[in-house]
Every structure is written in structure tokens, then in C-alpha cells.
Structure 1
Amino acid sequence: MTDRKKVITVLYFAAASTATGITEEEIDIADEGVSLASLGEILVARHPETGLDEVLAGSQWSVDASMVDDPASVMLKGGEEVAVICPVSGG
């Protein structure tokens, strides 16, 4: 049996994309999964000194195109598409 990596795809928009310099990346996760609430720490560690931590502090998450109200209640198991949704200003 071949071991398959468990990955999630993270999509970066607006300020998150500007901070990281990319629009998407794949993140390997542990076999037991990772909570959405802890994903921000993983992303900041991958992109240190970019200001991503500040961007994430004011952003929301979307998992598989559904907005998430409580990141602590979501466990990512692999295969999900997670988007960083930055605040939008208008006038």
C-alpha cells in the first residue's frame, strides 16, 4: 500500500496574496488532520516576516466555498480547499 500525503489547498486573495506573493499553495497536514483554527499559525510559519499574521487577524476563512463562522469547530482532514477571505472596503 502506498502512503499518500494528506494535503489541503490554501487560496490567498487580496492582502493575503500580496503578503505571501502567491495566490495558492498546497500544505501537507498530519494524518490526524489539523484544525482550521491552527492553520493560521502554520501559514505564518511558512511565510515569516511578511505581515501575513496581521492580514489573518482581520480575515475570515472559507472551506470548500463555504464561509466558516467558528474556525475552532472545523477539522481539516485533507483534500479541502481553504480560502483566506480578507475584509473588503468600499465607498
Structure 2
Amino acid sequence: MLRPADPPDEKDRRLTVVTVRYFAAARAAAGLPSECVDIGDDANATVADALDAIAARHGVALHKVLGACSFLVDSVAVRDRAMPLRHGAELDVLPPFAGG
């Protein structure tokens, strides 16, 4: 006798979860130093997807700061927001710093 296939387990879901670390004004706008962000089950998730997720989560104040920020993915500078993100990546949000 055939039976229907079992639904996929949660572990089989293709999640892209990244750790976002906020610095300076970005930390103040987000209200926390870091967080894990689930940017969906899309294997093609990008930096832009992560930024959209955190802007939606934290509102206008962070959205404004993000426009002036630079970003690191796994300690490497990123300018292309279309860069793919792997599950478990670290995304650093770096606003302009003053001082010398």
C-alpha cells in the first residue's frame, strides 16, 4: 500500500539566516548590537534582502541610517547589494565614522 509522502522536516527547509552586527548610529537606530535574521528559504538571498528585512523590522530610523552605511560580509567589504548571502554569514552594518 502506498502512502502519501511526509511533509519536509524543518531541517530540510532551505533557510538563509544571517547574523547582523550593528555599529555606532546603526546600533542606536536598531536598538541592539546584533541579531539573527531569517531572510527566507530562498537559496538566492542577497545583501539587499537582508537590508530590506532589517529595515522592515526596525523602521524609519534604521532605514535612514542604512542609506549612508557600508557593509562587510564575513569581514570582507561589499559594495554590491546583489551579492548572495550564504546561511550563517555575518553582515556588519557600518555607518560613517568620524574622528582620527
TM-score range, shorter chain: 0.7 to 0.9
Matches within 5 A, 1:1-91: 2-4=9-11, 5-33=15-43, 34-49=45-60, 51-72=61-82, 74-90=83-99
TM-score w.r.t. the length of structure 1 is: 0.85
Between the two proteins, the alignment pairs up a number of residues equal to 89
Deviations 1:20-73 (A, max 9, x none): 110000011222232112322211110124x1011100001100011102122x
User: Deviation of residue 77 (structure 1)?
Assistant: 2.6
RMSD across aligned C-alpha pairs, in angstroms?
1.7
Residue ranges of structure 1 left out of the alignment (5+ in a row) = none
Residue ranges of structure 2 left out of the alignment (5+ in a row) = 1-7
* Identical counterparts, % of pairs: 37
Higher RCO structure (Cα 8 Å, ≥6 apart): 1
Structure number with larger C-alpha Rg: 2
Greater fraction strand: 1
